[in-house]
């Protein structure tokens, strides 16, 4: 019995250890690249799912446009001869009206696809911004952690020099105050990181609190290509230009339908009359009627449609020039942001770090006061934070360029 208890206890300990190991593995953040995040959002984002549901509405519109008019049946009962009668009314569409209606509905459905594509591009931009905003928040948290370590180290140096009688107690209190401020900044940065993570999870439609290990660095510089190629690509993919082009196709289909509707429809009526004692027991009857297109032949509607097409052509030309201008602006903005980030990385950040190191060494050797060290530490923190902001500005500028062009650039 005692041996059995020991075996059971050992088995329980093993199962508990395995359970803890699995729990720890489950809590490990998953690796996530920017490409994976964009792909997840394209499949899981709730706004995109809702927008894509409109495809069924557009398909139903095409089906409704292809419906044919129903026949009607009439029954009469009169005191006059003939006493009863039954006849059918069958409307017949002449000309290509039905085909033109279907073509118009399909073009309108394509406009729905354009709206979905525009939302996909906007979601892509938002996910990119949220991804790198989280990367920025984590880098900021790391910078605040490093700043806290510097402040604590300075506090230790000040305390050691005070204990040796080299500096007054005021410098120790100043170092403690700076360390407390660094601690507060670090805690705020941690909370801002949680906010950024929540925003990314919402866009990806992942459960709240889902953590990610970002595998694409904030320092990754995007490749935007040549300006001439971007202008050509924007001419074919820009959402504003695509929408105007589709509106032109819809208006052309509308005008074609108006022209087809000039042909009048034919109404056929056929049936039989019954119970006319003085004349006949039953007899057939028939009737044909058609509207005569004498006064109204959709002249005004067709003229309005033609004028709308001319206006859309002019609007397309103006929009095309405006898009070219926006692409140029976004391209040069990206270049400027990349140059700024490069200057911070190669010049300002190393210089500020070297200055801070020299100030700390001078203070430790008794050649400088604590204010010089504090100023140097604040300066290096500001420069590093500005560098991180410049990297984030590069990613934002690239996202704006991609949105303006209207197609993925990476």
Residue 363: pLDDT band (50, 70, 90) is confident
Q: Over the stretch 100-110, which tens digit does the pLDDT of each residue have?
A: 999 999 998 88
Q: Over the stretch 308-342, which tens digit does the pLDDT of each residue have?
A: 999 999 999 999 999 999 999 999 999 999 999 99
**Cis-peptide, bond into residue 82, ω within 30° of zero:** yes
- What pLDDT is attached to residue 207? 92
| DSSP letter assigned to residue 168 | -
Average pLDDT, the chain: 87
The mean per-residue pLDDT over the stretch 285-314 comes to: 90
Q: Over the stretch 150-163, which tens digit does the pLDDT of each residue have?
A: 888 888 888 888 88
**Predicted model pTM:** 0.80
- What pLDDT is attached to residue 2? 46
Question: Quick one: CA torsion of 31, 134, 394, 353, rounded to 10 degrees?
Answer: -100
Q: How many Cα neighbours within 13 Å face the side chain of 138?
A: 16
Q: Which H or E element spans position 392?
A: helix 370-405
pLDDT top residue among 275 and 239: 239
Cα distances from 231 to residues 314, 316, 329, 334, 399, in angstroms, run 20, 15, 11, 15, 16
DSSP track, 290-311: E---SS-SSHHHHHHHHHHHHH
| DSSP letter assigned to residue 261 | T
- What pLDDT is attached to residue 410? 77
Residue 16 has pLDDT above 60, yes or no: no
- What pLDDT is attached to residue 23? 41
| DSSP letter assigned to residue 396 | H
pLDDT top residue among 21 and 327: 327
The region of weakest confidence among 128-137, 196-205, 232-241, 324-333 is 232-241
The mean per-residue pLDDT over the stretch 347-366 comes to: 87
- What pLDDT is attached to residue 106? 92
Cβ atoms 55, 112 nearer than 8 A: yes
Cβ atoms 381, 147 nearer than 8 A: yes
DSSP track, 181-245: HHHHHHHHHHHHHHHHHHHHHHHHTPPTT--EEE-S-TTPPP----HHHHHHHHHHH-HHHHHHH
- What pLDDT is attached to residue 5? 54
- What pLDDT is attached to residue 344? 94
The partner residues of 274 in beta bridges, in order of sequence, read 84, 282
Give the 3-state secondary structure of residue 135: helix
Measured CA to CA, the distance from residue 410 to residue 402 in angstroms comes to 9
The region of weakest confidence among 120-134, 194-208, 284-298 is 284-298
DSSP track, 334-385: HHHHHHHHHHIIIIIHHHHHHHHHHHHHHHHTTSS-HHHHHHHHHHHHHHHH
């Amino acid at each position: 019995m005692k041996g059995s208890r020991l075996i059971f206890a050992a088995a329980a300990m093993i199962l508990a250890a395995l359970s803890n190991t699995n729990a720890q593995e489950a809590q490990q953040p998953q690796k996530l690249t920017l490409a994976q995040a964009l792909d997840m959002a394209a499949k899981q984002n709730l706004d995109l799912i809702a927008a894509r549901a409109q495809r069924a509405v557009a398909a139903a519109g095409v089906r409704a446009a292809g419906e044919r008019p129903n026949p009607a049946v009439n029954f009469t009962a009169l005191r006059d001869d003939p006493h009863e009668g039954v006849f059918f009314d069958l409307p017949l569409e002449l000309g290509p009206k039905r085909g033109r209606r279907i073509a118009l509905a399909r073009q309108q459905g394509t406009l729905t696809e354009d709206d979905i594509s525009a939302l996909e591009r906007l979601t892509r931009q938002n996910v990119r911004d949220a991804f790198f905003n989280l990367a920025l928040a984590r880098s900021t948290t790391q910078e605040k952690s490093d700043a806290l370590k510097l402040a604590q180290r300075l506090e230790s140096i000040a305390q050691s020099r005070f204990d040796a009688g080299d500096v007054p107690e005021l410098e120790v209190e100043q170092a403690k105050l700076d360390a407390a401020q660094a601690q507060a900044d670090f805690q705020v940065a941690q909370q801002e990181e949680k906010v950024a993570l929540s925003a990314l999870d919402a866009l990806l439609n992942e459960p709240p609190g889902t953590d990610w290990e970002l595998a694409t660095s904030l320092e990754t510089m995007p490749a935007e290509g040549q300006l001439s190629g971007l202008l050509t690509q924007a001419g074919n993919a820009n959402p504003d230009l695509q929408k105007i082009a589709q509106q032109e196709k819809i208006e052309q289909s509308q005008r074609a339908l108006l022209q087809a509707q000039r042909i009048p429809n034919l109404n056929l009526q056929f049936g039989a009359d019954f119970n006319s004692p003085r004349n006949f027991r039953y007899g057939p009857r028939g009737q044909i009627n058609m509207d005569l297109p004498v006064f109204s032949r959709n002249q005004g509607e067709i003229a309005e449609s033609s004028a709308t097409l001319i206006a859309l052509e002019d609007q397309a030309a103006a929009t095309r020039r405006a898009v070219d201008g926006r692409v140029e602006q976004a391209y040069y903005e990206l270049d400027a942001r990349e140059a700024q980030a490069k200057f911070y990385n190669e010049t300002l950040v190393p210089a500020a770090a070297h200055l801070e190191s020299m100030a700390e060494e001078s203070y430790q050797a008794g050649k400088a006061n604590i204010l010089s060290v504090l100023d140097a530490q604040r300066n290096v923190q500001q420069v590093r934070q500005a560098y991180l902001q410049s990297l984030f500005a590069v990613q934002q500028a690239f996202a704006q360029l991609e949105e303006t062009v209207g197609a993925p650039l990476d």
